[in-house]
Amino acid sequence: MYVKRERSPSLPPPRSEAGVVGWLRANLFSSWPNALMTLAGLALLLYSLPPFLKWAVIDANWLGDSREGCLPPLGDAAGACWVFIKVRLGLLMYGFYPEAERWRIDLAGILLAAAGGQLVAGSLLRAATGRGRRLTGLFPLAGVLLSLALFGILPGLVACAYLAAPDILARARPGRLLLGLAHRPQLHLAARLGLAAGAGAALALGFGAAGQGLAVALSLLAASLIFIALGAYGQSAASVRFSLLLGVYPVICYALLLGGGLDLPLVDTDNWGGLFLTLVIAGVGIATSLPVGILLALGRRSRMPVIKALSVSFIEFIRGVPLISVLFMASVMLPLTLPAGMHVNKLLRALVGVSLFYSAYMAEVVRGGLQAIPRGQYEAAEALGLRYWRVMRLVILPQALRLVIPGITNTFLGLLKDTTLVAVINLMDILGILKSALADTRWLGFTKEAYVFAGVVFWVICFGLSRYSMLLEKRLKPGRN
């Protein structure tokens, strides 16, 4: 028999296990092959990194605004010529959007950054205290102040209205009134739809009579605003913000960026370009391919043979061919399929191609999520008396989509990177601009700078997004409060 009466204290580990030496031994030099690998790695680093840094930073030329800034008397020919990029930064960001009108893109960007930033910060600080929540309020505040300072009173007011709307609507009366009148959800929805459509139609007629080019956009804006406003009461401000971002922001952007009325000169999409165009295509692409993808995924799992067959053949067809052939089809064949005299804008064609292509990939991602939901969830939801669409919308899809966040992000990153392919059908995205810039006889030979710059831009966006999605995935793990 043995009994120990006193407890022994915890001791620190022996010296060789801890500290820098211990770490080096364990991680870099634990064995002979390991040490060799370390040395090989170091050699590769020393061989590649210093020359690159010397070219890109140390010997690089930043000053001046002409080619001379990069040549011997003024600059160093051995270094990168970032002047080349600096001179064209505007083109690379905005394309041929008139310089006087570029503030419209900036305003759209600020609105997105403020509303989106608040949502993103909110999603990461979900469990945060009141202080964290107040911090997220800094985004809209900064957005409004920035718009006021940069663009003047009117744009500032628009920004203020848009950014403050969620908090106001979430507490506003009209929604509550309607809820009281029609407390059955179906009636409520019908009333919202009806009122919104009515207002939209009335406005369209009124504006149309006034001959405004923006008529459709503004009527749409009013209709979606009314629809969201009437349903907003009792919702959280974040969810209203999300609906506004999906339903109202695109219409604002459409009106603001295209213009053609309200003192906003028309800027044809032929002049859109640069990173701005890339983001437009990526934004429209994700906003259409996700919902269409969800429908296709549901269709593929449907018990109705016709629906299933149609969905499967669409998905498999699209996934079997390269995007470039779909883009060719959209740019060459789509005009052929329309009645004579009907034209489709080049950008719209690219958008249709990209969205259709990626909706097939989204469908497969979503299907993976749907398959991962256990049968019991469907059964439990049906046992509660929910019909098909309710089961999907309220029980299955929220879980399934949460499961496939990594897949959705990957697909979106693929989409973002593949927007570069529109350069092949002659749209002026960042690569298109670079191509024309490299053909400029005054600036021949700065190809490395051009592609390294574009690469860095894409890398920052894609890497940032993938890290955000990893964070979000961690936050949303089921079973976490």
Residue with smaller CB distance to other proteins, 115 or 415: 415
Residue with smaller CB distance to other proteins, 270 or 316: 316
Measured distance CA(284)–CA(272) in Å, rounded = 15
- 21, 37, 58, 266: which one binds other proteins (CB under 8 A): 37
- 43, 202, 304, 471: which one binds other proteins (CB under 8 A): 304
Contacts of 124 (CB under 8 A, 6+ apart): 471, 472, 475
Establish if 418 lies at the interface with other proteins (CB under 8 A): yes
Establish if 438 lies at the interface with other proteins (CB under 8 A): yes
- 57: which DSSP letter? I
Establish if 356 lies at the interface with other proteins (CB under 8 A): no
Residue with smaller CB distance to other proteins, 201 or 309: 309
Other CB atoms within 10 Å distance of the CB of residue 256:
22
Other CB atoms within 10 Å distance of the CB of residue 68:
13
Establish if 321 lies at the interface with other proteins (CB under 8 A): yes
Establish if 20 lies at the interface with other proteins (CB under 8 A): no
- Minimum CB distance to other proteins, residue 298 (Å): 13
CB under 8 A: which stretch of 4-12, 60-68, 207-215, 367-375 binds other proteins? 4-12
- 163: which DSSP letter? H
- 126, 171, 346, 417: which one binds other proteins (CB under 8 A): 417
Of 416, 433, 432, nearest to 424 by C-alpha is: 432
Per-residue H/E/C for 290-351: HHHHHHHHHHHCCCCHHHHHHHHHHHHHHHHCCHHHHHHHHHHHHHHCCCCCCCCCHHHHHH
Establish if 459 lies at the interface with other proteins (CB under 8 A): yes
Contacts of 439 (CB under 8 A, 6+ apart): none
- 21, 43, 45, 266: which one binds other proteins (CB under 8 A): 45
Is there a contact between 28 and 40 (Cβ–Cβ < 8 Å)?
no
In which residue are the tokens 């503004």 written?
A: 218
Establish if 291 lies at the interface with other proteins (CB under 8 A): no
Q: Which residues sit at the interface with other proteins, rule CB under 8 A?
A: 1-5, 7-8, 10-14, 17-18, 27-28, 30, 34, 37-38, 40-42, 44-45, 303-307, 310, 317, 319-325, 328-329, 332-333, 336-340, 413, 417-418, 420-421, 423-424, 431, 438, 445, 447-448, 450-452, 454-455, 458-459, 462-463, 466
